Amino acid sequence: MNATDSETLVVGGGIAGCAAALEAARAGGDVVLATKAARPEETNSYWAQGGIAVTRSDPETFRADIIEAGAGACDPDAVETLVSEARPAVEDILIETLDVPFDTDGDEFDYGREAAHSESRILHVDAATGAAILPRFLAYLDEETDVTVREETTALDLVTHEGRVHGALLEQDGAVSVHFAGGTVLATGGIGAAYDRTTNPDSATGDGIAMGALAGADVADMEYVQFHPTALDTALVGSDGDRDGDESDDTGTFLLSEAVRGEGGVLRNGDGERFMPEIHPDGSLAPRDVVAGAVASERERTGAVRLDVSEVAFDASFPGLAKRCRERGVDPEDGIPVAPAEHFCCGGLAADMDGRTSLGRLFAAGECARTGVHGANRLASTSLLEGLVVGRRAGRQAVGVEPEAVEVSEPRDSDPDLPARFASEKADRLRRTMTEYVGLERTSDGLARAATSIRRLKGEVDAYTRTRTSRELYELRNATVTALLVVRAATENDESRGCHHRSDTEVQYAD
């Protein structure tokens, strides 16, 4: 098996991975960034709509908003680090280095407001902030740094020896090689591919979480899976597929940014009534877990929930969203049908704010990491921020150690007897199971059913990944592993808090 090496290996091409690679290169490190994405659209970061929150006048209000949205489960020290480094990180990388064209109001930035924020503090580019950042970030790494970017390169497994990570097995064009590294940073994004309805692209298969867990790294808070309350309700627009998948095909759901509600959009049920003011004092701008639960309830009770944008300059302020709605046959003036969809995993590989995990030389940043910032429910427009801040810090820490070659078990040749559509059919089964039993509401019986089904599925998948090295099989393995981690954590935690709701128990988080 061929072998390559570098001082630092970054796995993942979203904002966290790019920030880690940039900072490692700035520190003088020899850096390789491996991403399975063939284009920026395959990263979660690309699809971030709302923007990136920064501290403005009083940092205490930002800290308080994060902690309140997180339902008391945030790590205060982690929140303090995020808030104190928010503006310096954004100014350094996004403004001074990348010159991201954030929207302005005259000579000043046009700060937006989203759910659970007490003030307008969100930098944005229309409602397509991630799409404005990622292509120029990758281009900058390619053209202005010594970082080697390897696209369409899938990490299959971590290389470990005596409790340390020494790199990863990489697959490209069917060929598997080993890449040894002194420091390895996982920045692989979320787990949305385990659910039928998600705002994530198909590539969000929980790779980093699964590889880290299988290598023995600690995980935490996996029960806290956030559902965004306002994704297009495909059941009401004539779509025959609930699966979101690759958003570029526009056959499934897509996100309607909270920025729309921040500009005056309101939620109405099937009877045309505003229901959020009776549920939370912040109305349609309540925390995501609150709004998602209310939308699901009203949708079931009255048949539909629509986002009323009649008081919003929708076409002018959100031209991309307006265009996508009309392409799907939805006239925004009639109200946009919405329903909750899986959006963000607040848990992941247990890591500190420098990205350090429980395994030596392994770092994690972005959605695959659990730093304690988000607690039980993430505050809007803090995902890009966390990826930027923690990715930047992890990149600094992942340099300074020379790669060391260790013994690696070489994967077997591909098994020619893999049944047709095996991976796609098993993935469909996984998504149906997670959507039915591990969604907005969980019960002990449902979680037990999910565990039984997914364990059986994992056994079937493992039988083939031992003999075959295709990307789709390893993604399926990773999705089943992360799904089991979610089910296990949800089963062990009978307290309803934030985005984890156990409807069969009276144990409630009391603020």
Read off the pLDDT band of 443 (50, 70, 90): very high
pLDDT digits (tens, 9 = 90+) for 352-395: 999 999 999 999 999 999 999 999 999 999 999 999 999 999 99
Picking from 189, 127, 146, the residue whose alpha carbon sits closest to that of residue 27 is 146
How far apart are alpha carbons 119 and 282 in whole angstroms?
Answer: 12
How far apart are alpha carbons 64 and 511 in whole angstroms?
Answer: 14
Contact at 8 Å (CB) between 152 and 83?
no
* Cβ neighbours of residue 510 closer than 8 Å, sequence gap 6 or more: none
- What was the pLDDT predicted at 249? 40
R_g (Cα) of the chain, nearest Å: 22
Contact at 8 Å (CB) between 207 and 37?
no
- Tell me which amino acid residue 463 is: A
How far apart are alpha carbons 454 and 484 in whole angstroms?
Answer: 7
Q: Do domains 230-342 and 422-492 have the same CATH topology?
A: no
Flag whether pLDDT at 251 surpasses 60. no
- Tell me which amino acid residue 46 is: Y
**Element (DSSP H or E) covering residue 433:** helix 422-437
Flag whether pLDDT at 429 surpasses 80. yes
Is 288 among the catalytic positions? yes
Picking from 57, 69, 54, 67, the residue whose alpha carbon sits closest to that of residue 115 is 69
Task: Kindly list the distances between the CA atom of residue 248 and the CA atoms of 46, 342, 414, in Å, as whole numbers in the listed order.
Answer: 11, 18, 31
Mean pLDDT calculated for residue range 404-432: 81
- What was the pLDDT predicted at 29? 86
Contact at 8 Å (CB) between 184 and 11?
yes
How far apart are alpha carbons 82 and 298 in whole angstroms?
Answer: 35
Mean pLDDT calculated for residue range 423-431: 94
pLDDT digits (tens, 9 = 90+) for 273-292: 999 999 999 999 999 999 99
Distance of CA 408 to the CA centre of its chain: 31
CATH class belonging to 230-342 = alpha beta
Flag whether pLDDT at 398 surpasses 90. yes
From 288, 306, 328, 497, active-site residue: 288
Read off the pLDDT band of 243 (50, 70, 90): very low
Q: Give the domain ranges of the chain.
A: 230-342, 422-492
Q: Kindly report the length of the chain.
A: 511
pLDDT digits (tens, 9 = 90+) for 57-99: 889 999 999 999 999 999 999 999 999 999 999 999 999 999 9
Mean pLDDT calculated for residue range 141-154: 95
Mean pLDDT calculated for residue range 235-263: 66
- What was the pLDDT predicted at 412? 58
Which is more confidently placed, 239 or 442?
442
pLDDT digits (tens, 9 = 90+) for 112-142: 999 899 999 999 998 889 999 999 999 999 9
Mean pLDDT calculated for residue range 491-500: 96
CATH class belonging to 422-492 = mainly alpha
User: Average pLDDT, whole number, for the chain?
Assistant: 92
- What was the pLDDT predicted at 467? 65
